[in-house]
Amino acid sequence: MRNFKLISLFCFTLLFARCTNAQNSKAMTEHSNNPYYSRTDTTPLHVSDAEWKKVLSPEVYKIAREKGTEYAFTGKYYKADTKGMYYCAACGNALFKSDAKFASSCGWPSFYESIRPTSVRYVSDNSHGMRRTEVLCGRCEAHLGHIFDDGPPPTGQRFCMNSAVLDFEPDQK
Active-site residue identified among 88, 91, 140, 160: 160
160 labelled catalytic? yes
Give the separation between CA 28 and CA 167, rounded to whole angstroms. Answer: 11
Q: What end-to-end distance do the CA atoms of the chain give, in Å?
A: 27
Q: For residue 25, which amino acid is it?
A: S
Helix (H, G, I), strand (E, B) or coil at 156: coil
**Cβ–Cβ < 8 Å for 58, 66:** no
In eight-state DSSP terms, residue 71 is P
Which residues are the active-site residues?
160
